[in-house]
Structure formats: C-alpha cells, structure tokens
Structure 1
Amino acid sequence: MSSELVLLRTADHPFAGHLEIAELRHEVVPEPPEGRALGRADLLGGLSPHDKWRAEWIVDRAQRETEVAYLFGPGDDEGFTRTLGMEAARAGVEVEVVYYLLAPKGTALLGLVAVEQRLRGPGGCPWDHEQTHATLAPYAVEEVYELLDAIAGGDPDAIREELGDVLLQVVFHAQVAEDEQRFTIDDVAQGITDKLVGRHPHVFAGATVESADEVVANWEDLKAAEKPERTGPFDGIPAALPALQYAEKLQRRAARTGFDWTADAEAADRVRAELDEFLAAADGGVRERELGDLLLSVVGLARRHQIDPEMALRGAARRFRDRFSTMGERADRALGDLTREQWLALWEAAKAAEGTDEPA
C-alpha cells in the first residue's frame, strides 16, 4: 500500500499489528451515530444507513488527505465496498480498497512485538526497563526446561503455553538490543531465515540428497563454510551445555574426524570396562574420575544407538518420580516404616501399573 493513511473498520483488525510495526499511519473508522435516516434514492438502492455513514466519513477523510486506503476486514462485505465506491465517485476522490483472504501465519507475533515494545517504551514497565541480556539469561534457561517438561508430558496446551514463554524471551532480547541500537527482531528473523534457506539447498537450490543422514552431513559442511574462523574440532560447542549434551556433542565432533568405534559392540564393551575400573577405584578422588569416564562411555553407547542421552535420562528421572509417588499413595503405612521387601513389592507394582488404567 502506497497510501499515506490506512483506514480500518475496527481496532482489532488482523492487520492492525502489521501497520503498527511498519509505522504506517492508520485510523479506525468511528461507529456511526444512531438514528441516521437515508434518502429515498438510497433506500431504493438497498443501502444500509451504517454503510452509508461510514462511506461518507471515509470519503471526507480522503478529501482531506493526499491518498487514502481502506483495508477490507472482518465485518465488511461487497455491499459496503460498492457503497464506498459510489460515494467516492460522487465526491470525485479516489479511495484504494485493499483486500485480503486470510491473515498470514505470524500475524499474532506482531502483537507480541508491539506489547514488548510498549513495555520497554516510555511509560512502560519499570521491571522491563531494567532488564539486560545478562539479567534475562536465567529466565531463558528456565523457560526452555519448562518446555522440555511440557513436551515430556505430552500435553499440547502446556507445550503451546511454554513455547509462548520461550518466544517471549526471543522478543524480549531483541527489544533490548533494539533499544541499544544493535539489532532488531527483524534482523533476528531474517538471519535465521537466511540460514535455513542456505543450509537447505536440496529444498531451495536444486541440490539432491538421498537420506536424512546426508542432510545432516551437508548441514555441518555448510555450517563450517559459513564460519571459517572455527578451525578446531570443538569450536562453537558451548561449554555451558548440560553435561550429557556437552559430552555427546564433543564425541560427535570427534567421530567426524574418524575417532569412533567401528561397531556398536565396542561401545558396550567400553561401558563394562569403565564400570570395572570404577568398582576397583581405591579412593573418592579416583572414583569420581572413573565415574566420569563411565558416564562418558554411556554417552558414547547412546550416541552409537542414536539415542539422546539427555532426554533418555530425563525420561528415566520422570519415571522414577512417578513410580515413587505411586508407591507413597499405595503404601498402607508411613514410608519410613516399610521393610525392604515391602519397598521392592511397591516398586514393582508401580512399575507394572505404568501405561495402564490401573488406579494408583
């Protein structure tokens, strides 16, 4: 739209956020007064009093502006646009009517961007004003873990909610950067868009791949080409990652250079060997080191079998929590009064009840 003023029927028009973010001048057409009468010719022509009044108001604005556009929206129909066209022709002015079919995906994101801009803007929220990338960092970590919990729980509503919280972190950080005149949310979105297009030549550039594994290999090669300053095998792996994920990424990078087991059975043998070394350790310091080696070998076993060790351990921890809660519900006495045999019996019963409709 090249018009200097865009008019909307209502303030909640699906594209109002777009206009706000694009800083396009826009106004909402006011509601017509009650009791407005039409002339005989208008009545014979089937005009609505409200449509007639709105059309006249828009034409009046067009007469006072260089260019005006009316953005067709919910509640509008062809009858109104015909009325608007007739009134504009009668007054000798031009009003551009812009149509849309469906609001594009992502329209609501503009509303989130506008809200955060308002919170960080003049007269906004004092807490939001004080935040920096560093102070927000813990919240980003927390929100991601809450998303993981929602995914593990399999509740779509919870996943949707937690994705929103993660999305807020992205928008919040981008607004902080914009306030510091470093980059904007559009820079963030454009950067990841360019990256995805560039790393999917089999989709956007006519390249050919035979499997998902080949896609992953190409991704790593393209990523390396984008960042030639990363010359070491472990460059770019954040040391702050959770330990299991950090270990898995280190091993995966090492494997790309050829440092890997030739068979899955060798990875399993390494786990047994590290367990023996741990059991044979003489003191606490050595045991800690050997336990680390044992855990690292388990990560290697998981990698060989295409299992994410972080998610596998989270799943096991969740099952442990659920089973223990079930044991407490089923116990006929205080947990501290149970014998070892009773503990084991309750544990096996809780384990057997998983995935069934059996009450706890």
Structure 2
Amino acid sequence: MNSRVDQLKAFDRLLTIMDELREQCPWDKKQTMETLRHLTIEETYELGDAILDNDLDEIKKELGDVLLHIVFYSKIGSETNDFDIADVCNTICDKLINRHPHIYGDVTVENEEDVKRNWENLKLKEGKASVLEGVPKSLPALVKANRIQDKVAGVGFDWEEPNQVWEKVEEELKELQEEIKIGDSNAIENEFGDVMFSMVNYARFLKINPENALERTNKKFSKRFQYLESRAKALNKNLKDMTLQEMDVFWEEAKQLPK
C-alpha cells in the first residue's frame, strides 16, 4: 500500500486538479452546491451498489467520485471565504476527538454499545435539542426508520431482548389483519407502516441492516426475473401470453442459478 507521504501527495494532486478545473472548465466553473447536490446523492447510491456487490475495484472508483464531490464543495466554500478543505478536515477531526473520550480522554467503555450511548449523550451536551436532529429529513423511509431506532437506542430507549421485538412484530401483524378486515385504507396504511417499523427494529436486534437485506432481495428477484425473460425469449414466447404455471417452471430454474 502507499505510504502516508504518497497518500498526501495524491490528495494534493486532487486539490490541484480541482483548482484547475474550477478555473478553466466551463462545466466545473458553473457548478454550485445546489447543482452538485443531486449528483452527490447519485454517487453515494452508486458506492452503495458497489459495496453490496463486493466489487472492490468499483468501490475504489466510486469512493474517488464521492471524494471529488467533497473537494468540490470545499473549493466552492473557499471562494466565498466560508471554509476550505482544511476546515472540513479539522472540523471532523475535532468532532472525532471530542466524541471518543474513551480514546482521547479518561472515559472507560466496556463495549460498542457503551460507545454509542456516549456518542449520543455527548451530542446532547453539545446543544442538540433532540437525539433525532441528526437524522436527515430526506432519507428514504426505510433507512430513516433504522437511523431513528439506532439513535434512540443510543440513549437507552430500546427493547432488552430480540424475542420482545418479535412479539411486537406479531402484535402489529395482528392489528394489520384486523384493519384489513374492516377495510379502512388509511388505517391499513398506518398499521402496515407499524409492521415495517417493527420489522426494521427486529432487523437491528438481529444485527442486520434492513436496507441492505431488502436490496439484496431486490437484486436476487431481478436476476431471477431476467432469467425468466431470457428463457421465454429463447422459446419465442411472450410473458403476457404465458400462464403462471409456465413461468413458474423457469422461475424454479432461476432459483438454482449460482448466487
């Protein structure tokens, strides 16, 4: 691997290129934080895909794209004398030191859960009105549910055992079934949301990331369905004209494919 000197040299090279692009490239010169925002979100999702695929070469490339955006925002900030890349780095360094008193202070911790509780308590001491302030409003609902539960657990608002959480899941499922019998669509939606929220909570107790789990299933389903499509096409058949029983034959074949 590269030495620290080489790492710093590479980072300096990136900063220099960013300066040159901002001065000379018509597209780069026009960008603002607002125009970059949606691109940054897209790059983050692409990094997430590469991580789920365990494609290390692609992860390296996508990390570069995300890093470019961080440097880009910092360059824009420096042009208005609000902040530059050094301020960005020092801000996160200061935060990490302050939030890890068990490393840089005299606090003792026993495990990961102690660290998380200390982290959230320190945020409140820093002036946060709520532990939920750090959950972005624009997060997808599934991710947001996981982060909300993780945040409140950090201050002790949590179940004690996984079986308690599963009992809550079963309770919410029964309530959903009752509302389905009644037929009130608003009530059904509310109860369905409660089921999903409780399932996200259960995933956390199983130490499973629910977003990753669902995305893996999305990929698995897509792969199998595309196999079904290819088999049908090879036989000059249209899926719309096939029965479920016919499609199920190909679906079962798809389930035997290597994962």
Same fold (TM over 0.5): yes
Higher Cα Rg, which structure: 1
Q: Give, as a single letter, the amino acid of the residue that structure 2 aligns with 1:266.
A: Q
Shift of 1:343: 2.3
Shift of 1:172: 0.5
Please say if residues 117 and 155 of structure 2, whose CA atoms lie closer than 8 Å, have aligned partners that are also in contact: no
2:10 paired with 1:108: yes
TM-score by length of 2: 0.87
SS at match of 2:153: helix
Indicate the residue corresponding to 2:164 in structure 1.
266
Q: Which one has a larger percent strand, Structure 1 or Structure 2?
A: 1
Q: Which one has a larger percent helix, Structure 1 or Structure 2?
A: 2
Indicate the residue corresponding to 2:184 in structure 1.
283
Shift of 1:112: 1.2
Instruction: Report 1 or 2 for greater relative contact order, CA contacts < 8 Å, sequence distance ≥ 6.
Output: 2
Please say if residues 224 and 255 of structure 2, whose CA atoms lie closer than 8 Å, have aligned partners that are also in contact: yes
Residues in 2 aligned to 1:325 and 1:168: alpha-carbon distance in whole angstroms: 35
Residues in 2 aligned to 1:250 and 1:103: alpha-carbon distance in whole angstroms: 40
Q: Give, as a single letter, the amino acid of the residue that structure 1 aligns with 2:18.
A: E
SS at match of 2:149: helix
Please say if residues 116 and 154 of structure 2, whose CA atoms lie closer than 8 Å, have aligned partners that are also in contact: no
Please say if residues 120 and 154 of structure 2, whose CA atoms lie closer than 8 Å, have aligned partners that are also in contact: no
Q: 1:326 aligns with which of 227, 251, 255?
A: 227
2:26 paired with 1:126: yes
Shift of 1:207: 4.8
Q: Give, as a single letter, the amino acid of the residue that structure 1 aligns with 2:140.
A: P
Deviation digits for residues 160-216 of structure 1, max 9, x if unmatched?
111111011100000110111110011111111222233334444465433233333
Residues in 2 aligned to 1:293 and 1:327: alpha-carbon distance in whole angstroms: 34
Note the residue ranges of structure 1 that are not aligned, 5 or more in a row: 1-100, 356-360
Instruction: Describe the shift of the 1:294–1:213 C-alpha distance in structure 2 as closer, same or farther (beyond 3 A).
Output: same
SS at match of 1:353: coil
CA RMSD of aligned residues (A): 2.3
Instruction: Describe the shift of the 1:261–1:198 C-alpha distance in structure 2 as closer, same or farther (beyond 3 A).
Output: closer
2:209 paired with 1:311: no
Residues in 1 aligned to 2:253 and 2:106: alpha-carbon distance in whole angstroms: 56
Residues in 2 aligned to 1:212 and 1:285: alpha-carbon distance in whole angstroms: 40
Shift of 1:257: 4.8
Shift of 1:262: 3.6
Indicate the residue corresponding to 2:114 in structure 1.
214
Shift of 1:271: 2.1
Please say if residues 225 and 251 of structure 2, whose CA atoms lie closer than 8 Å, have aligned partners that are also in contact: yes
Note the residue ranges of structure 2 that are not aligned, 5 or more in a row: none
Indicate the residue corresponding to 1:345 in structure 2.
249
Residues in 2 aligned to 1:102 and 1:262: alpha-carbon distance in whole angstroms: 44
Shift of 1:113: 1.0
Shift of 1:277: 2.8
Deviates more, 1:334-343 or 1:300-309: 334-343
Deviation digits for residues 85-113 of structure 1, max 9, x if unmatched?
xxxxxxxxxxxxxxxx9834232111111
Shift of 1:256: 4.3
Q: Give, as a single letter, the amino acid of the residue that structure 1 aligns with 2:44.
A: V
- 1:59-70 alignment to 2 at 5 Å? none
Q: 1:254 aligns with which of 144, 152, 155?
A: 152
Residues in 1 aligned to 2:106 and 2:6: alpha-carbon distance in whole angstroms: 27
Residues in 2 aligned to 1:197 and 1:257: alpha-carbon distance in whole angstroms: 20
Please say if residues 132 and 148 of structure 2, whose CA atoms lie closer than 8 Å, have aligned partners that are also in contact: yes
- 1:13-28 alignment to 2 at 5 Å? none
Residues in 2 aligned to 1:119 and 1:158: alpha-carbon distance in whole angstroms: 24
Residues in 2 aligned to 1:295 and 1:102: alpha-carbon distance in whole angstroms: 45
Residues in 2 aligned to 1:338 and 1:255: alpha-carbon distance in whole angstroms: 50
Instruction: Describe the shift of the 1:258–1:156 C-alpha distance in structure 2 as closer, same or farther (beyond 3 A).
Output: closer
Indicate the residue corresponding to 1:188 in structure 2.
88
Instruction: Describe the shift of the 1:289–1:125 C-alpha distance in structure 2 as closer, same or farther (beyond 3 A).
Output: same
Deviates more, 1:263-272 or 1:206-215: 206-215
Q: Give, as a single letter, the amino acid of the residue that structure 2 aligns with 1:313.
A: L
Please say if residues 21 and 28 of structure 2, whose CA atoms lie closer than 8 Å, have aligned partners that are also in contact: yes
Deviation digits for residues 37-72 of structure 1, max 9, x if unmatched?
xxxxxxxxxxxxxxxxxxxxxxxxxxxxxxxxxxxx
Shift of 1:239: 1.3
Instruction: Describe the shift of the 1:324–1:165 C-alpha distance in structure 2 as closer, same or farther (beyond 3 A).
Output: same
Indicate the residue corresponding to 1:234 in structure 2.
132
2:142 paired with 1:244: yes
Deviates more, 1:262-271 or 1:314-323: 262-271
TM-score by length of 1: 0.64
Between the aligned residues of both structures, percent identity stands at: 38
Q: Give, as a single letter, the amino acid of the residue that structure 2 aligns with 1:337.
A: D
